[in-house]
Homo-oligomer: A and B are copies of this chain.
C-alpha cells in the first residue's frame, strides 16, 4: 500500500487554492513570497514552485520582478471558460455513448441526490460542490483521462469566480430547484441511452448565462 506522499509543494498548491476559494486571498491580491511562506510555514523555494504551478494552472499570474497575484477574471474570460467547458462536456457525452461508464452514472445519481437536498435547504456551498461532482462524473462517463484532466483544470479556474458567486448570492429556493431539475433531465436522458436528448439537454443547460451576468460589470 502506498501512503499519501504529498510534497510541501503539493500541499502549498492545495492550501493556496483553498485560501482563495474561502476568500482569504482575494482576486487581484498580491502574493508576497516571504509573507506567504511564513503563513504556510514553509521556506521560499517550495512556495515558489507552488506559485509556478498555480500560475500554470491559471489561478495566479506572475509578472516579472513584481511577483504573483491572484487572477482576476474578466467577463470575457469567464465566458470563455464556460463555453470551453460546455464543448468538453459535449465531447464527453458523444464519446461516452453507447457505453457510458457505470460507476460514473452512479456518481452522477449520488451528486444529484445531494444537490436536491441541498437545494431544499438553500445550502449554496453544498449545491456548488454537488454541482461540481455531477459535472465531473458526467465527463468521466467517457473514460477519457486526458479529457478529465483538462476539465478538472478548467473547474479549478472556475472556482476563482465561485467565491465571488458566494458573496453575491441572492437566489431563491425556486431558482435552485430549477437548476436541479435541469440536471435531472440531463441525467435521465443519459440513463435512457438517448444521446440526442442528452446533448439537447446539455445545450439548454443554461448555467453559463446566469453566471456570466455576474461578471458583466468587470
Looking across the interface, which residue of chain B has its beta carbon closest to that of A81? B146
Looking across the interface, which residue of chain B has its beta carbon closest to that of A157? B146
A55 to chain B, nearest CB (A): 9
Looking across the interface, which residue of chain B has its beta carbon closest to that of A91? B87
Q: How large is the interface on A (under 10, 10 to 19, 20 to 34, 35 or more residues)?
A: 20 to 34
6 sample A-B contacts, Cβ–Cβ < 8 Å, listed by A number: A49-B49, A52-B53, A77-B145, A80-B146, A87-B88, A87-B91
CA distance A150 to B81 in the complex (A): 11
Task: Select A80's contact among B9, B49, B84, B147, beta carbons within 8 Å.
Answer: B147
Chain B residues with CB under 8 A of A150: 84, 150
CA distance A84 to B91 in the complex (A): 8
Interface residues of A in 3-21 (CB under 8 A from B): 5, 7, 9
Judge whether B80 and A145 touch: CB under 8 Å: yes
Judge whether A146 and B77 touch: CB under 8 Å: yes
A204 beta carbon closer than 8 Å to chain B: no
Task: Select A146's contact among B7, B53, B84, B91, beta carbons within 8 Å.
Answer: B84
Looking across the interface, which residue of chain B has its beta carbon closest to that of A150? B150
Judge whether A144 and B52 touch: CB under 8 Å: no
Judge whether B91 and A9 touch: CB under 8 Å: no
Chain B residues with CB under 8 A of A53: 52-53, 56
